[in-house]
Amino acid sequence: MRSTKTLLQTNIKKILLIGAFSQSPDHYTYATSFVAPLTKLGFIVYPFNYRRSFVPCISSQKALQSRLLASLNKKLCNKALLATALHYKPDLIFIIKGEEIKSSTLAAIKQKINCHIVNFYPDNPFTLWNGNSNAQVLKSLPLYSCFLSWSPILTPALACSGCKHTCSFPFAYDANFIYAQAKPANQYLYDICFVGTWEPDREKWLTHVHHALPEARLAIFGNRWNFLPKDSILIKAVKGEAMYGQKMLEIFSSSKIILNFIRQQNYGAHNMRTFEVPASNNFLLTERTPQQAQVFFKEDESIACFSTPQELVEKINFYINHEAKRDAITKKGYEIAQQYNLENQLAHYFSSCPALQKKEIYE
């Protein structure tokens, strides 16, 4: 198991952390989770929120939805980032996604400051079709000292696109945000639970489950489930919008089985739920991928998986009625998940990435 107790051997002291940050406990952003672990590891961290409004007199990001204002905001964001970097003079610029950052801005920073620039892109940088990436993201790939990848499947494409170096970086969870929650004293509120945004494929999976197991108590929490047809069998199963923090953990601990579906852009990899559910000491039944079933966990020992609608129903029916087997997998999954908290992953990255050991960065 990786440990954060080892002193990091790195020349990096000051980090300009670029991401979408949130000050509200009701609005979770992945970038926000990076601040505390990096600080705990001894770095001086300066957060730069590239998703905020940079247009004077407009404080809401929603107000920037017009094409003209969005274009102006993007221009001002990049101007502010360059000025911030020149003033702060970081040893490392750590970008979490940063789809609004122009390649010309990164190039200008590299010309003026001798610092590393790395990116952890939590979406697939090559999926332009769903709006999760754009041409500027691809154009910026050769400018990074290192690109952090959540899947080795992306490595060849990243190399062909000009990435100098890639490092593995799974979707680690925030240990300040995800922790083991006490189980209900009397009984579970739900047999099956899914917490996530509506998508057509997810609707199909859950509709099949509800038809096959009508007596099972199914609960759905997430955004956009109002997209369901008015005659959908799932409407009564939708209990609320997206849940984060303490509320999400309470839903997990009140459910016998937490389902997880892998988006197409994640290929045969994993997602946040892969570690969040086991780390909270709850039972995960996830769509089977090689990474989840063979690399991070071992199927039927520390994780449960499915690949077809029929297998999903069979696994739900089995684990609902076999508490001892469910608890054994939950316990083992919890033990394994502990090494994948964000602080451990960051410590491992900074102490092992060859690209970050170079004192002279500019090329």
Q: What is the pLDDT at residue 28? A: 82
Residue 179 lies in a domain: no
d(CA 345, CA 363): 28
Q: Within this chain, do residues 103 and 227 fall inside the same structural domain, yes or no?
A: no
Q: Structural domain of residue 285, as residue ranges? A: 190-339
Backbone angles phi, psi at 194, to 5 degrees: -130, 125
Q: What is the pLDDT at residue 359? A: 54
Q: Within this chain, do residues 152 and 205 fall inside the same structural domain, yes or no?
A: no
- 179, burial (CB in 10 Å: exposed 0-12, middle 13-18, buried 19+): middle
Q: Within this chain, do residues 346 and 304 fall inside the same structural domain, yes or no?
A: no
Q: Within this chain, do residues 273 and 350 fall inside the same structural domain, yes or no?
A: no
Report the CATH number that the domain containing residue 208 is assigned in CATH: 3.40.50.2000
Sheet containing 238-240: order of strands: 238-240, 218-221, 190-195, 255-260, 284-287, 304-306
Residue 28 lies in a domain: yes
Residue 3 lies in a domain: no
Which stretches of the chain score pLDDT less than 70? 1-9, 23, 25-26, 59-64, 186, 358-363
CA atoms within 13 A on the CB side of 109: 32
The tokens for 353 are 């990435």
CA 320 to chain centre: 28
Residue 185 lies in a domain: no
Q: Within this chain, do residues 327 and 352 fall inside the same structural domain, yes or no?
A: no
- 19, burial (CB in 10 Å: exposed 0-12, middle 13-18, buried 19+): buried
**What residues form DSSP beta bridges with 238?**
220
- This prediction's pTM: 0.91
Residue 94 lies in a domain: yes
Residue whose tokens read 């979406």: 123
Residue whose tokens read 């400051």: 113
Q: What is the pLDDT at residue 67? A: 81
CA dihedral (271, 276, 278, 282) in degrees, to 10, reads: -120
Give the burial string for 249-278 (b: 16+ CB within 10 Å, else e). bebbbbbbbbbbbbbebbeebbbbbbbbbb
Q: What is the pLDDT at residue 264? A: 86
Q: What is the pLDDT at residue 363? A: 45
Q: What is the pLDDT at residue 361? A: 47
Residue whose tokens read 């946040």: 272
Backbone angles phi, psi at 147, to 5 degrees: -115, 125
Residue 4 lies in a domain: no
pLDDT digits (tens, 9 = 90+) for 7-21: 456 789 999 999 999
